[in-house]
Structure 1
Amino acid sequence: MLNFYPGPSKVYPEVRQYLLDAYDEGILEAPHRGEQFVQLSRAVVGLIKRKLNIPQDYYIFFASSATECWEILIQSLTKYKSSHIYNGAFGEKWFQYAQKLRPHSEGIAYGINEAIPVSELPISPDTELICFTQNETSNGTQVTPTTILNLHNRFRDTLIAVDATSSMAGLNLKLIKADIWFASVQKCFGLPPGLAVMACSPRAIFRAKQMAERAHYNSLVFMYEKMLNYQTTHTPNILNIYLMKRVLEERPFIKGIEQHLTDRANDLYTFFEQFSDFQMLIENPDVRSKTVITLQANEKLVEDAKKRALHHNMRLGNGYGNWARNTFRIANFPAIQDEEYEELKRFFLHYYA
């Protein structure tokens, strides 16, 4: 099966052998307070920083999912409110979840073919955390490095948190321009679901210490204190942490991965422009995602394409949220090989050219 679903997506084929190695090495039975896990955790933190170009003074944490990271950040970094900038389902869900914890939190919606209107954002001075999704998986949009820089420059005194679930480990993100970045690993990391990585700036940790929120097992200050010794607050997903270590050891540095994905995204966008029955959901090339390509058509054709592809052992991603019925999505993640996209092209040329 060729898997183009944007999460959980294809895992690296080497993971099969790594699973056997994990069993043979006894890591599946290792106590999470023991030296074997501590050494593993320390090694993975070093690899994440080195391979993903993360500043050395940022702190790395493990969580169960990006959704859990939403909760951690709202409960541990805000007392009153956060402000959420969004144009799709996942950014909006983060806002809705924040409202349940901090009812005064605010949402600012913008169009899918627009850049975030940084100079016009009505963010009030009492906002403690600005939140947005760098790569909106539901519609295939992205927030560019220039926009993130502009946000950083305009709101220097406010913490900024970025959900990078469909781009971390695929794009060379400039983490220095925001305080918190996080992602689940079932996308660009090429790993099974059940683990998230979160990187926090010294300023974010300082804020967590100031708040000293300790009401939850995943309170950020607890997580920080445990990770000083490369441990977690809870029994972690040791298997996935081990798999991450093995995968990162073999992967090239993020700059090369980003260039490959960028070239491949440009090629795929150009390829699909030749089909009159399919259109790009995102018309503005400047805000199109490099890692999730979203195509729209009438509902009958979308369903036909997905069913035909599945018959040929290819899984296309369903549409999501407002675009659930009239779009499908194609992941452009590092674990998927170039030849698999060539087979996908042959499929579309055969049935829809």
Structure 2
Amino acid sequence: MLNFYPGPSKVYSEVRAYMQDAYDEGILSTPHRGEQFVQLSRAVVGSIKRKLNIPQDYYIFFTSSATECWEILIQSLTTHKSFHIYNGSFGEKWCQYAKNLRPKSEGYKFDVNEPMPVDQLEISTDTELICFTQNETSNGTQVSATTILNLHNKFRDTLIAVDATSSMAGLNLKLIKADIWFASVQKCFGLPAGLGIMACSPRAIFRAKQMNERGHYNSLVSMYEKMLNYQTTHTPNVLNIYLLKRMLEDREFIKSIDQQLSDRAEDLYTFFSQFTDFKLLIENEEVRSKTVIAIEAPERLVDEAKKRALYHNIRLGNGYGPWARNSFRIANFPAILDEEYEELKRFFLHYYA
């Protein structure tokens, strides 16, 4: 089965051997307060900073998912409100969840074919956290490094949090331009679902210490204190942390991976542009995602293409949110091989050219 679903997506083929090694090394039953786990955790933190170009003074945390990070950040870094900038379903969900915890939180929705309008944003001084999704999985858009820099420069005094679920470990993100970045591993990391990675700046940790919110098992200040000794507040997904360690050791540096995905994204967009029955959901090249390709077509054709592809052992991603019925999505993640995309292209040429 060729899996182009945008998460959970294809895992690296080496994961099978990694899991056998984890069993043989006793990782599956190691105590999470023991020395074996501490050494594992320390190694992962070092590798993830080195391979993903994360600033050395940022702190790394393990969570269950990116969705859990939404909760952690709102409860541990805000007492009043956050401000959410979004153009798709996942950014909007984060905003709504924040409002459930902090009713005064605000949201700003912008068009999918426009860059984030930083110059138009009016964010009040009592806002404690600015939130956005760098790569909106639901519609195949992304926020550029230049836009993030402009946002950082305009609101220097406010913490900025970025959901990078569909881009971390795939794109060479400039993490220094925001205070918090987080992702789940079932996308560009090429690992099974069940683990989230969060990177926090010293400024974010300072704010967490100031608030000193300790009412939850995943309160950020408690997580910080435990990770000083490379431990977690809870029993973590030790197997996935081990898989993360092995994956990072065997992968290239993020700059090389970014180039590979960028080239492949350009090729895929060019390929799908030639069809008359399909069109690219995002018309503006400037804001198209490099890791999630969204294709639009009439509902009947989308349904037919997904079913026909599945019959040929090719899994396309469903559309999502407002685009659920009239689009499908194709993951452009590092674990998926070039030859698999060639087979995908042969399928579309055979049936729809």
Instruction: State whether TM-score is above 0.5.
Output: yes
**Paired position in structure 2 for 1:136:** 136
Once residues 124 and 317 of structure 2 are traced to their aligned partners in structure 1, the CA distance between those partners, rounded to angstroms, is 38
SS of match in other structure, 2:329: strand
SS of match in other structure, 1:256: helix
1:60 aligns with 2:60: yes
1:44 aligns with 2:44: yes
Matches within 5 A, 1:12-31: 12-31=12-31
CA deviation vs aligned residue, 1:225-282 (integer Å, no higher than 9, x gap): 0000000000000000000000100000000000000000000000001000001110
CA deviation vs aligned residue, 1:203-225 (integer Å, no higher than 9, x gap): 00000000000000000000000
Letter of the 1:278 counterpart: F
Once residues 217 and 247 of structure 2 are traced to their aligned partners in structure 1, the CA distance between those partners, rounded to angstroms, is 29
1:232 aligns with 2:252: no
**Paired position in structure 2 for 1:215:** 215
**Paired position in structure 2 for 1:245:** 245
**Paired position in structure 2 for 1:200:** 200
CA deviation vs aligned residue, 1:290-311 (integer Å, no higher than 9, x gap): 0000000000000000001000
Task: Identify unmatched segments of 5+ residues in structure 2.
Answer: none
**Paired position in structure 1 for 2:343:** 343
C-alpha displacement of 1:155? 0.3
Runs (4 or more) in structure 1 with deviation over 2 Å come to none
**Paired position in structure 1 for 2:84:** 84
SS of match in other structure, 1:162: strand
CA deviation vs aligned residue, 1:104-156 (integer Å, no higher than 9, x gap): 00010000000111011021111000000000000000000000000000000
C-alpha displacement of 1:326? 0.1
**Paired position in structure 2 for 1:34:** 34
Once residues 190 and 213 of structure 2 are traced to their aligned partners in structure 1, the CA distance between those partners, rounded to angstroms, is 33
1:149 aligns with 2:149: yes
**Paired position in structure 2 for 1:295:** 295
CA deviation vs aligned residue, 1:47-81 (integer Å, no higher than 9, x gap): 00000000000000000000000000000000000
Once residues 106 and 52 of structure 2 are traced to their aligned partners in structure 1, the CA distance between those partners, rounded to angstroms, is 32
Letter of the 1:105 counterpart: S
Once residues 84 and 77 of structure 1 are traced to their aligned partners in structure 2, the CA distance between those partners, rounded to angstroms, is 14
Once residues 168 and 82 of structure 1 are traced to their aligned partners in structure 2, the CA distance between those partners, rounded to angstroms, is 23
Letter of the 1:119 counterpart: D
**Paired position in structure 2 for 1:263:** 263
Matches within 5 A, 1:86-105: 86-105=86-105
Letter of the 2:78 counterpart: T
The alignment's TM-score, normalised by the length of structure 2, stands at 1.00
Letter of the 2:110 counterpart: Y
C-alpha displacement of 1:166? 0.0
**Paired position in structure 1 for 2:279:** 279
CA deviation vs aligned residue, 1:299-329 (integer Å, no higher than 9, x gap): 0000000001000000000000000000000
The alignment's TM-score, normalised by the length of structure 1, stands at 1.00
Letter of the 1:265 counterpart: A
Once residues 248 and 116 of structure 2 are traced to their aligned partners in structure 1, the CA distance between those partners, rounded to angstroms, is 33
Aligned length: 353
Once residues 227 and 185 of structure 1 are traced to their aligned partners in structure 2, the CA distance between those partners, rounded to angstroms, is 19
CA RMSD of aligned residues (A): 0.3
User: Quick one: percent identity of the two aligned structures?
Assistant: 82
**Paired position in structure 1 for 2:75:** 75
**Paired position in structure 2 for 1:6:** 6
Letter of the 1:3 counterpart: N
Task: Identify unmatched segments of 5+ residues in structure 1.
Answer: none
